[in-house]
Amino acid sequence: MFGLKKPKRASGHRGPRGRDIAVAGRRLPLVIRENGRATRMTLRIEPGGKALKMSVPTGVTDPEIDRFLHRHHGWLTNKLRALPKPATVEEGGLIPIRDIPHRIERTGRVRGVSEAKVVDGETVLLVGGAPEHLGRRVIDYLKKQAKSDLEQAVARHSADLDRQAASIQVKDTKSRWGSCSAGGRLSFSWRIVMAPDYVLDYLAAHEVAHLKEMNHGPRFWTLCRHLCPRTDDAKSWLKKHGSALHAIDFYP
């Protein structure tokens, strides 16, 4: 059943509105934002299928939103069912690091740095700390690895262009894998370290290319492919597998 839980809304409110939607056997948060330039309503599934976003023209009423959601019930259900099943991070489970499956194993020690090792021919991620902190410890390790790999890739591509990034940050972004501000500040999703090396290299090249071309025109893509010859392969990989990385739940 497709159900809506309506929030209370103050008169004249123009900020984001929140709802819960029950669809395809799961309950998802929906954020509705009014856009004064929009001429129609649009609905988007966040990467990983954990949330929904809706953009509506200014002044659209709740009943109009209800009717839109009901009309698109079938589309939304089919899209959500087609998404990869969410994976959970747990002891004994597998986590991809640079596209190599690592079995998660607790060391039993309260302290200690997480590290990847080959044990009896198997690649293992050894994680210390209390059981309830397992997810956070794995995230900390992935962030550290992502920051190191991205800094090296950005430095290499920046030198090729004779440009300098103002800063590099890693975050758990949902709407995009990376971004470049007008001031040259680069941001990346740390989840990219779970992808193959050439995909991370493409992401770094993509954002470094924006240091010279702040657009997605032909010159930008020519530059991007110069920096990363496997640009098209990487884009295809992200399109096919990116949602699965966003769907991994570190706090089951």
**Do 183 and 109 lie in a common domain?**
yes
Say what the pLDDT of residue 3 is: 37
> Are 214 and 15 spatial neighbours (Cβ–Cβ below 8 Å)?
no
Say what the pLDDT of residue 14 is: 55
**Do 29 and 106 lie in a common domain?**
no
E strands, the chain, in order: 3-5, 17-23, 26-35, 42-45, 52-57, 94-97, 100-106, 115-119, 122-127, 167-171, 178-180, 185-189
**Do 98 and 78 lie in a common domain?**
no
Domain around 34:
3-82
Cα–Cα dist 21/146, whole Å: 34
**Do 65 and 99 lie in a common domain?**
no
- What DSSP letter does each residue of 37-48 carry, written as one string? T-SS-EEEEPTT
**Do 125 and 64 lie in a common domain?**
no
What's the pLDDT tens digit per position in 152-205?
A: 999 999 999 999 999 999 999 877 899 999 999 999 999 999 999 999 999 999
Q: Which of 47, 82, 117 is the last residue of a domain?
A: 82
Query: What percent of the chain is modeled with pLDDT above 90?
Result: 69
**Do 139 and 104 lie in a common domain?**
yes
**How far, in whole angstroms, is CA 13 from its chain's centroid?**
30
Counting Cβ atoms within 10 Å, is residue 27 exposed (0-12), middle (13-18) or buried (19+)?
Answer: exposed
- The CATH number covering residue 213 comes to 3.30.2010.10
Q: 26: closest CA among 65, 8, 52, 56?
A: 52
Is 252 inside any structural domain?
no
Torsion from C-alpha of 237, 239, 241, 243, nearest 10 degrees: 150
Cα–Cα–Cα angle for 210, 179, 53, nearest 5°? 135
Give the least confident one: 17-21, 88-92, 99-103. Answer: 17-21
What's the pLDDT tens digit per position in 149-159?
A: 999 999 999 99
Tally of structural domains, the chain: 2
Say what the pLDDT of residue 9 is: 41
**Do 54 and 117 lie in a common domain?**
no
Q: Which of 51, 82, 113 is the last residue of a domain?
A: 82
E strands, 59-208, in order: 94-97, 100-106, 115-119, 122-127, 167-171, 178-180, 185-189
pLDDT band at 233 (very low <50, low <70, confident <90, very high): very high
**Mean per-residue pLDDT for 31-45?**
91
**Do 236 and 163 lie in a common domain?**
yes
**Do 127 and 165 lie in a common domain?**
yes
Q: Provide the β-strand partners of residue 124.
A: 103, 117
Q: Which of 55, 82, 109 is the last residue of a domain?
A: 82
**Do 121 and 26 lie in a common domain?**
no
**Do 100 and 75 lie in a common domain?**
no
Rounded to the nearest 5°, which phi and psi values hold at 164? -130, 125
Query: What percent of the chain is modeled with pLDDT above 70?
Result: 92
